[in-house]
Amino acid sequence: MKRDILTSAIGIVGFTILLGLVYPLLITGVSQVAFPGEANGQQIHLDGKLIGSKIIGQAFEVPVLGKNGRPQEKEGKPVLEPDRRYFQTRPSATEAGPDNAAASTFSNLGPNSKATEEAIAERIKAYLALEKPYVPGLTPGQVPVDAATASGSGLDPEISQANARVQAHRVAAVRRLPLSTVDGLVASYTDARGLGFSGEPGVNVLELNLALDRLQGGAG
Amino acid sequence: MTFAGWLTIVLFAVILTALALPLGRYMARVYTGERVFLTPILAGPERLLYKILRVDPNHEQHWKSYAKSVLVFSLAGWLALYLILRTQTLWDFTGLNPTGYHSGTWNVTFNTVSSFMTNTNWQYYSGETTLSYFSQMAGLTVQNWLSAGVGIAVAIALIRGIVGRSGKSLGNFWQDLVRTILYVLSPLSALAALVLASQGVLQSLSNYLTAHTITGLTQKIAMGPVASQEAIKLLGTNGGGFLNTNSAHPFENPTAFTNLFEMLLVLIIPAALIFTFGRMTGNRRHGYAIYGVVMAMFLAGAAVAYVAEAHGSPAQHAAGLHTQVIAGSGGGNMEGKEQRFGIAGSALFDVVTTVTSCGAVNSALESFTGIGGAVPFANLSASEVIFGGVGTGLYSILLYVLLAVFIGGLMVGRTPEWLGKKLEAREIKLAGLGILVTPLAALFCTALATASHAGRLSISKAATGPQGFSETFYAYLSQANNNGSAFAGYTGYVQPNAGNPGAHGITFADLLGGFDMMFARYAPILFVLAVAGALAGKRVTPAGLGTMRTDNPTFAVLLSGVIVLVGALTFFPALLLGPIVQGLTSHLY
């Protein structure tokens, strides 16, 4: 018994140093040298300023202006709406606003809950309000599933190709670009299935939006 | 459903088997002390570790002595982890708490510590808003390794008991632990961590980033040394995410390729151990028969989950959303799922991590459809024998094998024999108890939590109707099976601000869950080691004409029957009240 206690105590201290400090620091060291971009979150900088991570979803929103020309507030926080010039990411259930990358969370909405139906109906309504002016005849049944469901992490960087094709109409109209140009950009920022069969193709929204801005010479 | 989806499931099973065969052979050599290709590099460190730990690896341990070492070592790990988590700010001098987070409350820490020590990794806390990098590395990562090591050691001890021809020795716990860490986990984990980091899993010690988005908003982005923990979290079937949404988070699982890779990491050791068992007992075909049984059950679960999730949920249909596959969209129940994984990648991942005791998730189980969610329930109801956790899966299914051989023996009217050893009352009683303690813990805790006001405090507001029961049942079932996946709406920690100020734990859920995990981890371990001890002393008699074969399809069918029957008889009433009701109705609550 005494022997076990002594060995256990030494073991815990020793393994903590070995597996809890040496191992992670070693992996950190190698990763920072070998793949610094990936290990540091694939940061994207624009004019020397960090604007986000390639693989973390963002809300492309702007403050809603009131009648007096100043941003509207609700409960002390500015009211935001989608920026029509940009493709929009999937719904997100993170607290303190969508795509909160400091506190990822699931929506945890159950399959048979009224709350889920209401949330999805709400998202369909918002999607139609944004896209229907540019895609006349868009019905709730045509809303792509990913556009009306919250992602797992709340930080999904991608949308489906179907979703991008709907949004392309709006983006092209607002930016006064030919639809084919926008569709072309969508295609070039679409990630294929992993190894050709794993997962679903997806369109990286941040990269696509940046490409649009670049095309038109900086943020429009 | 898509062709690519089905292909993913089938190819995954093929790749897994192809990789598990050589690893199983390698591990058998490691645990029988034979030379392996890493011996020249690792023999030195191995001897050094024995010296530092002051153990004699040749000291043979009787089952009670082996069990004592397991328990004392686990207790020491518990105390150390509790100390580290409760003194989080004391370690600020290391520079590994850039966010300046304070410690969590005592009750949630009790739950977390019990959770990581038992290889459960149930998480009431959220990683990026409560823990410092130091706590994650020196605290949680360490237990990710050690709990996996303990599980594998116990399984190896059981195999030694089965093959032991004289004496009562099960080997030496410290030797098994050190060899597991050095020869099995270290090379795999280091390799996996680097592969993950190269694909975009974080491995950084920098403070959280602040990005200024192109529409003028700011976004704070959590960072951390994720890849090193991610690798061992999966390999050790631990499952505790560095970040709150676990493997759904792009920083833990950035691409469809990493998704596939992570699933392989989860199953590789549990799958290989079955082959190790076949080799160490000298009856490889017996190992193949067991592998066939669990693989068939695994594939059945994956198929059911995929079909159910591709169909979509009643709430989606009621809201007017069309869930079939269209050009450019995979359709299905995408609530709580990530675009890059799609339906098949999400359903398969969640089956992979619930057949094993991994419990990592890449999508929200709470948002799975009734039937899709019933698959993880069924996997847990089978008490983690379908591959199961590292070590725990093997020793659990071997108890079922014992039971199947016994029942088979009764049916043909002969004294049951298993691998040359006669099975008698003592082993069968111990195996029976070992099988029953986990369901007992799960159902007792579920009943207590459902029936009491204190238990119902944990149910989330949105979980109305049967969903509330499903949440509760899943919580205690998952903790009892040391799985750790969750219907994540169920709460044990209320945290209004990042960094823990003003937070409070829900004591009832934290403590009940903590005891649930510890009881259901160590009681079966004791029974398993007792079975090993009882078998170790028995003489081996050569197989005769009347010996029931344990390496043919008949036996595989018998074993499947025993597993399904025990699981169904124990859990069917409870399953009916939750997921099955939800799966059979399109009614909204």
B400-427: pLDDT as tens digits: 999 999 999 998 888 899 999 999 999 9
Asked if B322 lies within 8 A of A142 by C-beta distance, the reply is: yes
SS3 A45: strand
CA distance B234 to A29: 21
Among B126, B327, B588, the residue with its CB nearest the CB of A113 is B588
Distances (CA, A) of B78 to A128, A139, B115, B116, B181: 53, 56, 10, 9, 19
DSSP state of A80: E
Residue type at B312 in one-letter notation = G
**Which pLDDT score is estimated for A77?**
84
CB interface of B with A, residues 42-71, below 8 Å = 49, 52-55, 68-69
Indicate whether B578 pLDDT > 50.
Answer: yes
Look at phi and psi of residue A69 and say left if phi exceeds 0, alpha if psi is from -120 to 50, else beta. left
Segment B554-562 shows an average pLDDT of 96
Percent of chain B with pLDDT strictly greater than 70: 100
Query: Contact, B160 vs B531, CB < 8 A?
Result: no
Segment B374-378 shows an average pLDDT of 95
CA distance B401 to B393: 12
Altogether, the residues listed in chain B come to a count of 589
**Which pLDDT score is estimated for B542?**
82
Q: Which of B321, B343, B361, B362 to mutate to test the interface with A (most CBs of A within 10 A)?
A: B321
Q: Which of A109, A123, A189, A195 to mutate to test the interface with B (most CBs of B within 10 A)?
A: A109
**Which pLDDT score is estimated for B384?**
86
Q: Which residues pair with B421 in a beta bridge?
A: B418
Vertex B320, ends B314 and B326: CA angle to 5°? 95
**Which pLDDT score is estimated for A218?**
58
**Which pLDDT score is estimated for A78?**
87
Q: Which residues pair with B210 in a beta bridge?
A: B220
Vertex B522, ends B520 and B526: CA angle to 5°? 120
Segment B87-112 shows an average pLDDT of 97
Q: At what angle do helices B392-412 and B142-163 cross, to 10 degrees?
A: 30
Per-residue model confidence as pLDDT tens digits over B498-531:
999 999 999 999 999 999 999 999 999 999 999 9
Asked if B126 lies within 8 A of A105 by C-beta distance, the reply is: yes
pTM, entire model: 0.96
Name, in order, each residue with C-beta under 8 angstroms of B557's C-beta and a sequence gap of 6 or more: none
Other C-beta atoms lying within 10 Å of the C-beta of residue B32: 15
CA distance B360 to B478: 12
Give one DSSP letter per residue of B117-141, joined into a string: HTT----SS-HHHH--HHIIIIIII
Give chain A positions within 8 Å (CB) of B368: 111
Segment A196-205 shows an average pLDDT of 95
- Residue in A with minimal Cα distance to B66: A4
Other C-beta atoms lying within 10 Å of the C-beta of residue B62: 15
**Which pLDDT score is estimated for B358?**
93
Specify the range with the lowest mean pLDDT, choosing from A197-206, B239-248, B387-396, B532-541.
Answer: B532-541
| B521: its two tokens | 């981890």
Complex-level ipTM: 0.96
Segment B167-193 shows an average pLDDT of 96
Other C-beta atoms lying within 10 Å of the C-beta of residue B539: 9
Per-residue model confidence as pLDDT tens digits over B34-62:
999 999 999 999 999 999 999 999 999 99
Give one DSSP letter per residue of B148-196, joined into a string: HHHHHHHHHHHHHHHH--SSS----HHHHHHHIIIIIIHHHHHHHHHHH
Vertex B114, ends B109 and B119: CA angle to 5°? 130
Per-residue model confidence as pLDDT tens digits over B353-364:
999 999 999 999
For chain B, how big is the Rg over CA atoms in Å?
23
The number of C-beta contacts closer than 8 angstroms across A and B is 434
Indicate whether B167 pLDDT > 80.
Answer: no
Q: Where are the domains of chain A?
A: 2-39, 43-215
Helix (H), strand (E) at residue B108: helix B106-117
Q: Which of A200, A204, A215 to mutate to test the interface with B (most CBs of B within 10 A)?
A: A200
CA distance B84 to B103: 9
Q: Which of A5, A27, A30 to mutate to test the interface with B (most CBs of B within 10 A)?
A: A27
CA distance B500 to B491: 15
Q: Is B469 exposed, middle or buried (0-12, 13-18, 19+ CB in 10 A)?
A: buried
CA distance B568 to B562: 10
Asked if B314 lies within 8 A of A112 by C-beta distance, the reply is: yes
More confident residue, B443 or B166: B443
Look at phi and psi of residue A217 and say left if phi exceeds 0, alpha if psi is from -120 to 50, else beta. left
Distances (CA, A) of B55 to A10, B63, B217, B252: 11, 17, 59, 38
Per-residue model confidence as pLDDT tens digits over B383-402:
889 999 999 999 999 999 99
Give chain B positions within 8 Å (CB) of A14: 49, 52-53
Residue type at B451 in one-letter notation = A
CB interface of B with A, residues 7-36, below 8 Å = 7-8, 11
Quote the mean pLDDT of chain B: 96
Distance to chain B for A172, nearest Cα, Å: 18
Among A58, A104, A194, the residue with its CB nearest the CB of B255 is A194
Segment B289-301 shows an average pLDDT of 97
Per-residue model confidence as pLDDT tens digits over B301-335:
999 999 999 999 999 999 999 999 999 999 999 99
Distances (CA, A) of A171 to A46, A60, A132, B585: 21, 13, 12, 41
Q: Which of A95, A62, A91, A203 is nearest to A151 (CA)?
A: A91
Give one DSSP letter per residue of B234-280, joined into a string: HHTT----SSTTGGGSTTTS-SHHHHHHHHHHHHHHHHHHHHHHHHH
> CB contact, 8 Å: B250 with chain A?
yes
Asked if A23 lies within 8 A of B332 by C-beta distance, the reply is: no
Query: Contact, B465 vs B589, CB < 8 A?
Result: yes
Indicate whether A220 pLDDT > 60.
Answer: no
Other C-beta atoms lying within 10 Å of the C-beta of residue A191: 18
Give chain B positions within 8 Å (CB) of A77: none
Asked if B214 lies within 8 A of A102 by C-beta distance, the reply is: no
